[in-house]
Amino acid sequence: MNILSIGVLDFFVQEAVGFKRLLRAFCVNLYISLVSVLLSIFFGILFGFIVSKRKIFRIVFKIFLEIVRIIPIFAWLFLFYFKLSGKNGGLSGTAVSIIVFFVWGTFEFSDIILSSMEALPKHQYESGLAIGFTYKQLYKKIIMPQIMRMVLPNAINLIVRMIKTTSIVTLIGVIEVLKVGQQIIEYNVFKNPKAPFFVYGFIFALFFVACQTVSCFAKFFENKFKI
């Protein structure tokens, strides 16, 4: 007699193809997050080390960081989508999302690296140089292992945030899981009025599984290397 249970069975049977479409569309989200995360980590670490060298770099960096942080990501996506275009139609929603996430990710990662490096006591650097290490050896053997402990939890937090934030790209027209979900609901609006509950519930579960997997993987990684 449970309305929900009858609905679930009906829905799964009729709309199995709908769930397949949702999974395929979720790959778009995952693709955007993966590419942006990989690019951000690489450039973020690079940027973090470059900026830590001089005080003036740090000041300029902090100003740009605040500018990037003040405007919400949705607003940046909107801005870039309408302004990064010429006669040729400009970049697609996916490309714009990757660019915006990459810029945001790079700044955030650099900030994580920078604050970890600032939190490390100065004598670590000085002792390393005093015993004759070159800069390369200093960073490789002394600095990096120590800041890893501070960087890793924040980095994982950021990666999970980036995966979550890809849900916003639906609002600039990218065909990803939320948009496909809405299409399925639209098509089912007469046949199955309970559709929104199941579709949004399924998407909810997808994001939860994806983000939780990343966090669990990080915990496993931390324990394994006893960081």
Both structure tokens of 95: 């490309």
142 versus 172: smaller Cβ distance to other proteins: 172
Cα–Cα distance measured from residue 169 to residue 118, given in angstroms and rounded to the nearest whole number: 34
Smallest separation (angstroms) from other proteins to the CB of 170: 7
131 versus 216: smaller Cβ distance to other proteins: 216
Smallest separation (angstroms) from other proteins to the CB of 150: 13
Amino acid in the structure at residue 220: F
Smallest separation (angstroms) from other proteins to the CB of 182: 5
Cα–Cα distance measured from residue 57 to residue 135, given in angstroms and rounded to the nearest whole number: 19
Cα–Cα distance measured from residue 192 to residue 98, given in angstroms and rounded to the nearest whole number: 35
Smallest separation (angstroms) from other proteins to the CB of 200: 4
89 versus 132: smaller Cβ distance to other proteins: 89
Smallest separation (angstroms) from other proteins to the CB of 183: 5
Both structure tokens of 83: 């302004």
Contact between residue 129 and residue 138 where contact means Cβ atoms under 8 Å apart: yes
Cα–Cα distance measured from residue 53 to residue 57, given in angstroms and rounded to the nearest whole number: 7
146 versus 167: smaller Cβ distance to other proteins: 167
Separation of CA 149 from chain center: 20
**SS3 state of residue 2:** coil
Smallest separation (angstroms) from other proteins to the CB of 172: 9
Amino acid in the structure at residue 209: V
53 versus 141: smaller Cβ distance to other proteins: 53
114 CB contacts (<8 Å, ≥6 apart)?
48, 51, 52, 58, 61
Cα–Cα distance measured from residue 29 to residue 164, given in angstroms and rounded to the nearest whole number: 9
Give me the residues that bind other proteins (CB under 8 A), please.
17-18, 21, 43, 46, 49-50, 53, 66, 69-75, 78-79, 82-91, 99, 160, 164-168, 170-171, 173, 175, 178-179, 182-183, 185-187, 189-190, 193-194, 196-197, 200-201, 203-204, 207-208, 211-212, 215
147 versus 206: smaller Cβ distance to other proteins: 206
The residue assigned the tokens 């600039």 is 172
